[in-house]
Structure formats: C-alpha cells, structure tokens
Amino acid sequence: MVTGQGYKGSEDYIASKPLMEIVNVSVALGKPLVIKGEPGTGKTLLAHSISTALNKKLLIWNVKSTTKAKDGLYVYDTVQRLNDARFKDKDISDIRQYIKMGKLGQAFKSDEQLVLLIDEIDKADVEFPNDLLNELDEMSFHIPELDEEVSAIHRPVVIITSNSEKELPDAFLRRCVFHYIEFPDEEMMEKIVKVHYPDIENKLLREAIKRFYWIRDVDGLRKKPSTSELIDWIKALLLGGISTDKISSEIPFLGAILKNEQDTGRFIKLSHAQGGGFGFKRRF
Amino acid sequence: MFTDFFYLLRKKGVPVTVTEWVSFIEALYDGYFQASLNHLYYVGRAFLVKSEAYYDMFDQAFQEYFGGIKTEGPELDKVLDWLENPLHKLPKMTPEEIAEFQQQLEQFRKEHNMDELMKQFMERLKEQKERHDGGGKWIGTGGTSPFGAYGNHPGGIRVGGESWMQSAAKVAEERRFRNYRNDIILDVRQTKMALKKLRELKREGAQEELDIDETIDKTAKEGGEIELVFNRSRENTVRIILLMDTGGSMLPYTELCERLFSAASQMEHFKEFKYFFFHNCIYQDVYEDIGNYKRIPTEKLFSQFHKGYKVVLVGDARMAYSELFDVNGCIDYFSTNDKPGIEWFMKIKQHFPNSVWLNPTHKNFWGHYTVDTIGKVFPMFELTLDGLKDAIKALTSKARPSVLS
C-alpha cells in the first residue's frame, strides 16, 4: 500500500495531489513515469523533488538531438583501444576498460535505488524511445562485446519528461505511466510563488498573479509566459520595490514576462485598445 | 471488474490496449488504489491514457461510466451537430456587398458588448431544443441571428463551421481538454514524420564521420601505423520553398498552417527552407512577412532559386473568378496586376516542376471554379496527414530535375 506515505512533494516543490498519487503508484510498481506539459510547469524539477523527498540520489540523462539510445547503456571506445594498440604499455586484451557505462547503465549497476531523470526525450530521434523499450521494461541489457548481462540491482525510479513537440511511440507509452501537468490555476500558483518568496506581501502577490494570468490570456502570443517567468518577474518587482498600485495601473518589467519582440508589440497594441476589449479570450 | 469501462473507453476513441488495461487492473488488485473516485480518475488516467489528446475522451467516458466528474452539458455538442450540415450554402457576395457587410460589422462592434452577447448566447443555448436553419433568433445555420454558422449577422458568435467573413468574434469551445484533441488536425510531430520522407541524401559538409573500411585499408598499407580516415556525413539536400496564402478565408486554418509551418521550419535536415506569403492569389509580388508588407518580385524566385527546389503552395485556392483570371483582379484595393494570377501560377509550375498544392479545406468543398483550375496546374492534396503523405510522394516520385545547382 502506498497510502499515507511516500512522495508528498518537497519543500521547494508543490505537487498537485493527483501528481503525488501518480508518482507513488509508479514508484511502487516500478514503472517509468512520463511527464508532459507546457514548458515551465516544473517537469524537470519534479525529478529533483522526488529525489530529495525520497532521499535517493538523482542521475540526469539530458537527451539531445544527437543522443542515441545506446549512449545511455554503454559506450565501447574502439578508437581509444585502436590507438592504445600502437603502444606496448597498455594491455588491450581487456575490453572491459574500454566499456563505459551510460546513465542507464550506471543506474542499473548502482548498489542503491536511484532516481533516473531522462530529460526531454522528445529531442532525440523518433526511434530513440523505441530503442529503449526492452531496457526500461526488463531493466536489463546485454553487452555483446563482453557477452554479459547488466540487470538492475534495484529498479531505478525512472522519470521521463517530454515537451509536446513530438509525440512518443505507442509501444513505448504502453510500458509507462503518463501524466500531463496542467498549467497551475491561480490558487496553486500562489502556493508555488510562496515557496520561492515566503515573505511576499499577499496583496502584491495576488495583484501580480492576476496580471500574469491576464497577460497569458492574450490571444495569439507566440510564447505564453510560464511559471518560471512569473517567478522571475516577481523577483524583479520585489527588487525594484514596485508598489502594488503600480502593477495594476501599468506593467513594469514586461520584458521578464514576454521574451519575444512580436509578443511585446502585440501586447502593447492590445492593451491600448483595451477599452474595446477586443482580441482577448473570454471565459464564461 | 470494470471491463465495460474498457470497451467504453475504446468506443470513445481512447486507444487503450489490453496490456495497459491489465496493468491497471493488476495495480487495482494489488491495492495500489485508494478507495476514492478522484484517485481512480487520476491514477486510472495515468495508466490508461497516454496522451493529453485523449484526456477529453477519457473525461467523457469516465463521466458516462461513473457519473462523478463534471463535464459540460451535451447541449453544445448537439448544437455543433446541427451546425455541421448547413442547409444553405455560403451566399455569394459582390465586393460592394462585402464592403457594406464590413461596415455593418464595425457598427455592430461599436454598439454591442461582447460579454452581453456571450451571456445571451449561453441563455439561448439552454433554451433551444432543436435544429434551426435560417431565421433570426435561434442558433443555427444561415439566417441572421447573431449566433450560429454560415449566417450573415455581422459580428455574431459563430458556433463551429467555417468563417467566411472573419465575422465570427468567437468560436465557442468548451470542456477542458478539448483543445488537446488531435483527431481533427495533424500535429507537429506527425507532420514532421511525414516531411522526413522528403529527403535526398548526399555527402556534403565537414568530414566528420569515421570511414572504417578506408581506415583499415590505409592502416594496413601503412604497415600497422594507424591512419584515421574521415568522411563527410550524409546530409539531406532537399530544398523547399513554401508559399502560403494568408487571405481572410484562410483564417480558420491558421493554426493548421502554423503547425505545418513550424514542423517544416523545425526540420533541421532540409538543406534550405524558404517561405513566402501571398494573399489569395500570386501576382508579380510575393511577401516575406505574414502582414504582406515586405514584397519581393515573384520573378526573383525564378532567378534566385533553381528548379531543383521543391515548391509547396498552401491555400484554399478559393477566390473570386476575377482574382484568378483578370488583369487587375487583385483583391487588395491598392494593388494592380498586369498579368492575371493564373499566368503566374503556370510560370511557377514551369520553373519548379516539383510543386504541389496543399489545400486545408475538405475535399468535398473543392467544387469551385478557381479550385478546379488551380488543381489542374498543381497536383492538389488535402492538408491532412494522408494528403501530406501523398503530396510528398508526388514531390519525390517525379523525374528528378536534370540540371542542379
């Protein structure tokens, strides 16, 4: 049973209740957890938070467009071996010294259970996740050069993040538990900001958040501001000693929220035409 | 236990597999679930639904089965259904009528408050019990009520349907995850996957790939002294020009086109990717920006880019007869053209033999004179995943251009 114990968020990370429950179930079942969501909703931070909360070491595998699945398992440095073969001072008959474990290999071989973060898996080639199917399912892989099987001593807690740029193959997703982090609502956002700035004045916070969501709702922004932008902005407001009234009448440090020239232009144009209220999404 | 739910999910379109269902049931039996509907909802969803695109369908199925989660009432779906099949086709309008209409629209915007209109809309949504076509009060197709589709009340609220006068101030949308559904349109990844088929691999660029065979050869010749030989890695040499229609009738497809555009521009493996815009039809100029301010002569396309470039035109190909066939038929008031648009299209086709037209509108709506004509110049495909695949086939299967660079 996982009730009552397990992951409950950590001091510096607020997790929604469903997310906590899903983390706990996936940890208990040893299934990889795939996290998707808008940029800046704390996908990567979740792994850090799980690692702190459960007191387990964190291994991060940053995936790039050139990353191959095999890199995560092990690398056999043939060129080095070839090079060493020219000199007599090294014994090259032992292949083992040219085999270097990748992040997944390290996680499998570790004596304690680790948290393994496979960050931004969608950046790699489309075939990448498929190449990891068996490895993540069985938590073991084979090294043909040594004819050896590496299997996990302790199944690591695997957290996989993905930006919605590319979708992951079905066969891969079947083996995982999936959660989409929604953009936090205003109430949740208040909690999140308070984690970062515990002393912030309530009135200022509320006004800033109100403004922030208002900007987010502007139609057709190229990049919607995310949590991290809000936190930067609030930091700027605090450092600048901006009063609450000023936030409601104008928007200081707009550059902290909108990072794109077109967005800024569009926003300024719209806020001038605010009287008509046209161009804003309306909720009903 | 719950097996009906499994079938219900599948019926609603969530692609749950048996494997996923079994691991969900196992987790259930092993006591990993708390006895709470909320828990079942969230954790069950994590097991059974693997993309936010299906969250909406899961919500619907869950509500139907457990009845606990609140989703919006079925009214809107019903209304959308009425609007899907308009009894009246879109009316044809002369430019004077359009101008008059736009004036009315301005007037309407001045006089009416959007909030008020929205409130009225919601009220009427509740009251209305049946389909309406024509008429001036209820939500329906045709007619002059401010609510509905295909009608001509300036500035009213369009419910689904296609915008044909930019007049719809709001497309009503409900349910939280509805926007994430992907069964209607292609997503970026699918587009990218399709575009990946567009490639011609050639060795170009820096030498950075280790050529093992050559290395062994050379090393043996050198008597064991290691000699590393590097090769150029193979690169895609495909060059693409994208020409996009930014006309008002394309407005409903903006997002779709944006997706195609972002997929294409994110493709790192194209050798070159150029894009230009046009308004309804191409004349002596195309534009470098969506706003159609920075013009460059169409002739320049011919002088700057050789015929090895593949050209993809995106547009609804639907325009006034005069825009395509007449001198000075250009829709923009201040523009003139001394050659009709169709001649420019033929010129493009002549210079770039590998060119296709992608049309975001449904094939059923292609029965229009200008669409047919353009379809005869360029092979025309629907802007759907299948259409895109066919278009790419057409782009690559043609005889390779004989003169390159």
The pair of three-digit structure tokens given for residue B36, joined into one six-digit string: 């709470």
* Residues of chain A positioned with their CB less than 8 A from the CB of B169: 278
What is the Cα Rg of chain A in Å? 24
Say whether residue B32 is in contact with chain A using an 8 A CB cutoff: yes
Lowest mean pLDDT among A35-39, B110-114, B203-207, B366-370: B203-207
How confident is the model over A47-104, as pLDDT tens digits? 999 999 889 999 999 988 778 888 889 988 888 888 888 787 777 788 888 889 999 9
Q: Phi/psi zone of residue B205: left (φ > 0), alpha (ψ -120 to 50 degrees), beta?
A: left
Q: How does pLDDT run across A219-238, given as a tens digit for each residue?
A: 667 677 888 888 888 888 88
- Phi-psi sector, B216: left (phi>0), alpha (psi -120 to 50), beta: alpha
A282·B266 Cβ contact <8 A = no
The Cα–Cα gap between A279 and B250 comes to: 18
Residue pairs between chains A and B whose CB atoms are closer than 8 Å: 85
Is the pLDDT confidence value at A4 over 60?
no
Residue B125: pLDDT band with limits 50, 70, 90 = low
Chain B residues within 8 A of A3 when measuring between CB atoms:
34
Which residue of chain A has the CA closest to B189?
Answer: A166
- The pairing of strands A74-76 and A99-101 is antiparallel
Question: Quick check: B193 and A170 CB within 8 A?
Answer: no
CA distance A181 to B45: 13
Contact A28 B119 (CB under 8 A): no
SS3 state at A198: coil
CB within 8 Å of B59: residues ≥ 6 apart: B69, B71, B175, B176, B177
Contact B42 A65 (CB under 8 A): no
* pLDDT confidence bin for A275, thresholds 50/70/90: very low
Name which of A144-148, B99-103, B124-128, B357-361 the model is least confident about: B124-128
Chain A contact set for B187 (CB, 8 A): 167
- Share of residues in chain B with pLDDT > 90 (%): 1
Residue B250: pLDDT band (50, 70, 90) is confident
The Cα B159–Cα B90 span in angstroms is 15
Pairwise CA distance, residues B352 & A203, whole Å: 62
Best to test chain B binding among A20, A163, A164, A168 (most B CBs inside 10 Å): A164
Judge whether A34 is closer than 8 Å to chain B, CB to CB.
yes
pLDDT of residue B190: 61
Please give the pLDDT value at position B88: 45
Of B199, B241, B195, which Cα lies nearest the Cα of B353? B241
Amino acid letter, A253: F
Provide the CA B28 distance to its chain's centre, in angstroms: 40
Residues of A in contact with B193 (CB under 8 A): 126
User: Which of B268, B264, B200, B192 has the alpha carbon at shortest distance from B238?
Assistant: B200
- What amino acid is encoded at B307 in this protein? K
Beta A99-101 vs B239-245: how paired, if at all?
unpaired
Nearest CA distance, B239 vs chain A (angstrom): 21
- pLDDT band, very low/low/confident/very high, at B99 (cuts 50, 70, 90): low
B222 contacts on A by Cβ (under 8 Å): none
pLDDT at residue B108 is higher than 80: no
A284 Cβ under 8 Å from any chain B Cβ: yes
| pLDDT above 90: residue A33 | yes
pTM: 0.56
A126 close contact with B: CB closer than 8 A:
yes
- Average pLDDT along chain A: 81
Tell whether domain B189-197+237-397 is in CATH 1.10.10.10: no
In a 3-state reduction of DSSP, which class is residue B39?
Answer: helix
Q: Is B183 on the interface with A (CB under 8 A)?
A: no
Strands in A157-162's sheet, in edge-to-edge order, are A58-62, A115-119, A157-162, A33-37, A177-181
Q: Tens digits of per-residue pLDDT, B320-347?
A: 888 888 887 777 666 777 888 888 999 9
pLDDT of residue A213: 87
Pairing status of strand B147-149 against strand B140-141: parallel
Most confidently modeled of B54-63, B138-147, B196-205? Answer: B54-63
